[in-house]
Structure formats: C-alpha cells, structure tokens
Structure 1
Amino acid sequence: MSLTLQTFDPRHDPEPDGWERLRAAAGQSVTWRYDLLRAYAWAAQAPLLLTVLSRAGTPVGAVAASLRGVRPRRGAYADSRDPAGLLDVHAPANRSQKGWWFTGDPTPGERRDLLSFYLRGVRRELGLGWRGAVWREVSPGEPRHLPGRVKVSLPTEPLARLATPWAGIEEWYALLDRARRDSLRRRARSFAADLSIRVGPARDLVTPAEAADLRARNDLKHRSALFPVAPLPLPYFEALVGGEEVVAIAYRDGAGTLLGLSLILDHPAWPICLSWGALLPEEGGRKHLYFDGYVRMVEWAIASGKTGLVLGKGQAESKRALGADLVPSAALAVPL
C-alpha cells in the first residue's frame, strides 16, 4: 500500500487540490470547508494542522489536530512551532464529529494503518519532541482500532442522537412523559402566538453578526474556567451562515430582535445541531426557548425526511428525556 501525506496550515496554505471532492466523498459537514477551517485557525489558541492522506496518489482521508505546545499561548499565536508538545486530534468547531475521517468504508485494520502512518509522518515533520496524541470523540469499541500500545481513556460527555422515523410530531410527543409533553405543547403554542419563529436557510434568516453574538453569549456562559476557549470570530460566521449547508431556527420578537437561534448542519440523513444561543430573560429574552427549539428541530427533521438528528453534547439528561440515545464518548491519550 503506497501511502503519502501532505500537511497544511489553513491560515497560509492554499486549499488542497480536490478538497471539496474529498469532503463530499466522505460525507463530511460544512465545518470542514476550507474557508471555515481557515477562519477557525486564525482565531484558535494553538496552531491547526490539517493532514491529507493519499493512497497511490488518490486522497482517501484527512486528520485535523491542534498543536498543543509546551509554551502556553493566549489569543493569536506566532507562526513558529514549539519544539515539543502533543497532537490534539479533533474536528474544528464541532464536538459532534471526529477529527479524522476517510472515504469509502475502510476496515478497522486499514483505518489503524492509515492513522499509524499519519502519526509517524506528522512526528517526522514536527520533531521528536512531540511525544503524544489525544484522540477526541472516541466511540465505544474504537480504542482497539486506533494506533498505540499504551492508551489512557478519559470518559467525556456523551453524544446525543435522536432517530426521527415518525410521520408527524405527535408520534414523537407520544413517546415523552405526560408532564413534559404537555409543557412542550403549551409553550409551543404560546411562543407561536407572540413570536416570529422561522426555519430555513440560515443566510435568509440571520446575519453573521447576530449568529456570532448569540453563539458567543452561550460559549461564555458555559466556558471552562480551567481551559477557556475563545468564542468563534465573526469571519467564521460570515463563511458559515453565507453557505448553503446550514439551516437556522430563528426566534424574533415584535421589534425584530433575535431572541434565540439554532444552527443545524444539514445532511441527507443525520443533520448535526451545531449550536444554540439566546438572550437571557433579563436581556429581553424568553424562558424555555431552549426546549422549544427541539420541538422545531424535530418538526423540521420529520418534514424533511431525515433519519435523525445529532443533538450534540451537553445537557445530556435533558436530551435523553426528549427521546435521544446517549452514545458514550471518550478522549484517548496515546504516547508516541
């Protein structure tokens, strides 16, 4: 098997040849579009390294990793790479996906070979001081198919997935306990009576500035005190909202103020609920919009003939109460 790899710094390097064909062939969401990777990389607190793996000259997969060096940085970072650190393999700006993917359906053994080749190649480029890798969003049973003899697994928040095999919203309501069902119905009627609730292409419903503002409010509210992550910048949302693969659920009051916003990465089968943001009640917002957003998402998914929704991470028990399955997830540390 003739394998090669190319590494890219999305801030400076041009888009890899055939990148959009590769992304489409692998069924990857819009967050892997190169202009979005570039916008993410410029705002990240660690350099982003994108690697394209090829077999016999044909691209077959990609891996994205943040280079967590030994020198702590805050805000924008310098072009120089640290002499030592670890690879943090993750999907940029999207915790519902993995940071590695392939076209076709390689066997577990083939995946392991490809990822072993990736680690060897990237370490040759970065230097021997890069002594480990962390694979995020690792699914049950997957650790044995990842390279490395010694592995340390740390459970992380589960991923919520909701299948939507129903003909209408009432079939979903019927699965919920009575108190929750009655509450969701009552609030849905109340919000529909005095708010504008629109579902459709994000570019038609919100401005990038509005989307960035509500996402930042939500990120800051839930940010980690130990490892704070900077909110995504406006250029990221200019690229995201302006595309064709993002659906929005937008709540506005009579004055046109955006009170709440869900952004969904569209997909033929399993769209991904990327983010939610809302004004607090003391800022003019409305209580319980978060839960009403799920009603609108389920309605949209059923009407669109989707197999289900990836509801993402966080608020796991609330999502379980809405009928979602919780898929265990872990971060896997592997010394090189």
Structure 2
Amino acid sequence: MRVELLDPRHDPEPGDWEELRRSAGQWVTWRYDLLRAYAWAAQAPVVLAVVRHDGQAVGAVSASLRTPRLRRGRYAGPRRGVAGIVDVHAPGNRSQKGWWWCGERDPALLSVYARTVRRALGPGWRSMVWREVSEGESVLLPGPLKVRLPTAPLARLALPWSRLEEWYAVLDPRRRDSLRRRAKTFSAELSVSIGAARELVGTDEAARLRAENDLKHRNRLSPVAPLPLPYLEALIGGGESIALTYRRGERLLGLSLILDHPDWPICLSWGAVPAENGGRKHLYFDGYVRMIEWAIGAGKRGLVLGKGQAEVKSDLGAELTSSSAIAVPL
C-alpha cells in the first residue's frame, strides 16, 4: 500500500477521486471542491490522504493538524507547526467519519496511513485523535494504547413507510398532536419550502443565519462559524444539497441544509431567527416533520438526523448510535 498526502488548498484533485468516493458511497461531504473550500476557511491545516493498493485508490482519510497557539487566528497559516495533534474527522460534518474505504474494512489501510503521517510530520506530532468511532471499531485503529472519550450519539431514523401518516402513527400521541398542530399553523402563516438549495436560498442570507445560530453554541470570544461563506457557496451551489426554508415575506426565519444521498441523506445544519428578534418558536421541531415527509416522498431508506438533542430525536423514532473520540499515541 502507498499513501498520497494532499493539501486540498493547493493540490489538484486526483484523477480517480470521483470514482473512488462514488464507489465507496461517499457523496456531498467528500466532493473535492468542498474539501478545498473547507481547507481554505479552516483554522488548522487539512491533510487529505488517498490510500492506494497496487496503484488503485482504495480509501481516504481526512485530518486537521492542530497545534497549540497562544492567539487563535481565523485561518490556518501556510505552514504546519512542528508539533501538535492529528485530528481525524470528516470536514464540516460531525455525522460522518473522517476515514473510509471501498469494500471490506481493512485495518491495514489505517496502519499504513498512521505510519506515513508520522514520517511526514516528524517527531513533534505525538498523538492522533479519531472522531466518531462506533462501538467495536476501536480495534481497527492502529496502536496498542488507546484512550476513549464518549461523545454525543448519532441519530438515524429508518423510513420503512410510504406515507407521513404511517410515521405519525408510531409517535407518542401528545408529540403527534403537537407536531400536527404546529405544522398546520406554520403552513398557514409562513412560506415553507423544501427542495434544491441553490433554488431556495442565497449564500449570504444562509451564512448570516448560520452564524447567528452558531453564536448560541460557541464561545462568544471566538465566534467563527463552522460553515463559513466559501464553504456555503460551494455547498449550496453544487446541486447536491437540499434546503428547507421558512419565510415571512422575503425574510428567512429558518433554514435546514440536507446533504442529499440516494439512501441516507444527512441533516447537516439548522439555523433560525430567535423569537425575540422576530422569529417563530418551535420551527426546529416542525423542521423534522418536513424533512421526514420529504425523505419518505423521495423514497429514501432513512434520514441521518445528526448529533445533539438526542432525546428529541429518540422521541421521533430515531435510533441512537453511541460514538467516541479515540486518542492514540504515535
């Protein structure tokens, strides 16, 4: 096996990248134009590894090179540091892993990757963190010593139904009644649309709403949105993303972005105008009704509801899958 290390900011897309990601079932997150946009806006340098066997691409790993800094800048510098941590994660998406391959799971792929990264970065890079590791997957990670930190579970909702009413029927009666009542109210008072993102929402208004929502969940001394403008431009304009929008007149009050997929679309992000600023309460809950209705109508096998609000998502019928971050010394 051989590992090719790439900086998506500068290195061209490998000629077989599209074939690799499609054959592995990896869709929107791993488009090379999105990887490049994410890398340019990231606070730490991004290294994309393509693993090859006999010259054929068989897998990929994405990681951020995180170094200790006394003053955090907005963007990664042109050079990587001499010491730090290799943080393996999916760029811009907490619902996926930062590593994948075609065919059966092969631990040798990750071992070769770890050795290559260690040689390329030097002795100052002493550990690697693998995020979104599912139960039983830690044995695939290279290294005899591993430290586990449980993280928020991932919610996935299987959709064996042909109509929304069939999903409603499995809910708690009180939850079902409140969701129906709110859906009727919002449909009468607001303009609610779901479809191709580039047809429903502008990049600037999406960025403003996302940044405002992000401030509620991050340190206000470092208010950098995880989906900055260049990334949103590529995401919305690429044609593989779905938007759910709530508007009062022309004003955007709520926005959910979905990464489309033939079987399991991913609910990537949600943002809404706070009620005290003219927004509407409970749009968050209604959003799940609309997204589930869209997914059922589109014939999807299921919907990845993402992380956070685990109890709410469980009440909607989602299965919660535990995950961890695993630290491994190099």
Q: What band does the TM-score fall into relative to the shorter chain?
A: over 0.9
**2:156 aligned with 1:161, yes or no?**
yes
In the other structure, the counterpart of 2:190 is 195
Q: Percent sequence identity over matched residues? A: 66
Q: Which stretch shifts more, 72-81 or 22-31?
A: 72-81
1:143 corresponds, among 115, 138, 146, to 138
Asked if the contact 2:210–2:225 (Cα under 8 Å) also holds between the matched residues in 1, the reply is no
Q: Which stretch shifts more, 5-14 or 322-331?
A: 5-14
**2:199 aligned with 1:204, yes or no?**
yes
In the other structure, the counterpart of 1:120 is 115
In the TM superposition, what whole-angstrom CA distance separates every residue of 1:306-329 from its partner, at most 9, and x where no partner exists? 111000001111111111111001
Secondary structure of the residue that 1:93 maps to in structure 2?
coil
In the other structure, the counterpart of 1:32 is 30
In the other structure, the counterpart of 1:45 is 43
CA 1:225–1:157: 2 relative to 1, 3 Å: farther
2:104 corresponds, among 103, 106, 112, to 106
CA distance in 2, matches of 1:54, 1:324: 36
Shift of 1:278: 0.7
CA distance in 2, matches of 1:134, 1:231: 19
CA distance in 2, matches of 1:173, 1:226: 42
Shift of 1:225: 7.0
Query: What are the equivalent positions in structure 2 for 1:76-95 lying under 5 Å apart?
Result: 76-95=75-94
Secondary structure of the residue that 1:106 maps to in structure 2?
coil
Letter of the 2:134 partner, please give it.
S
CA distance in 1, matches of 2:222, 2:15: 35
In the other structure, the counterpart of 2:21 is 23
TM-score by length of 2: 0.96
Query: What are the equivalent positions in structure 2 for 1:1-336 lying under 5 Å apart?
Result: 3-72=1-70, 73-103=72-102, 105-107=103-105, 110=106, 112-224=107-219, 230-253=225-248, 255-336=249-330
TM-score by length of 1: 0.95
In the TM superposition, what whole-angstrom CA distance separates every residue of 1:28-65 from its partner, at most 9, and x where no partner exists? 12121111111111111111111111000011111000
CA distance in 1, matches of 2:26, 2:207: 23
Asked if the contact 2:92–2:226 (Cα under 8 Å) also holds between the matched residues in 1, the reply is no
CA 1:300–1:134: 2 relative to 1, 3 Å: same
Shift of 1:12: 1.5
In the TM superposition, what whole-angstrom CA distance separates every residue of 1:181-229 from its partner, at most 9, and x where no partner exists? 1100000000011111111100110011122122212222112579875
CA distance in 1, matches of 2:245, 2:294: 13
Asked if the contact 1:44–1:230 (Cα under 8 Å) also holds between the matched residues in 2, the reply is no
Aligned residue pair count? 329
Shift of 1:252: 0.8
Asked if the contact 1:220–1:231 (Cα under 8 Å) also holds between the matched residues in 2, the reply is no
CA distance in 2, matches of 1:65, 1:80: 15
CA distance in 1, matches of 2:281, 2:202: 23
CA distance in 1, matches of 2:95, 2:222: 19
Letter of the 1:154 partner, please give it.
L
Q: Which runs of 5+ in 2 are unaligned?
A: none
Secondary structure of the residue that 2:215 maps to in structure 1?
helix
CA distance in 2, matches of 1:283, 1:201: 27
Structure 1 segments (4+ residues) deviating >6 Å: 225-228
Letter of the 2:171 partner, please give it.
L
Secondary structure of the residue that 1:79 maps to in structure 2?
coil
Asked if the contact 1:71–1:82 (Cα under 8 Å) also holds between the matched residues in 2, the reply is no
Letter of the 1:140 partner, please give it.
E
Asked if the contact 1:154–1:332 (Cα under 8 Å) also holds between the matched residues in 2, the reply is yes
CA distance in 2, matches of 1:130, 1:106: 30
CA distance in 2, matches of 1:46, 1:165: 41
In the TM superposition, what whole-angstrom CA distance separates every residue of 1:136-177 from its partner, at most 9, and x where no partner exists? 000001111211100010000000001111121111111111
Shift of 1:23: 1.4
CA distance in 2, matches of 1:205, 1:147: 44
Asked if the contact 1:246–1:264 (Cα under 8 Å) also holds between the matched residues in 2, the reply is yes
CA distance in 2, matches of 1:299, 1:273: 13
Letter of the 1:145 partner, please give it.
L
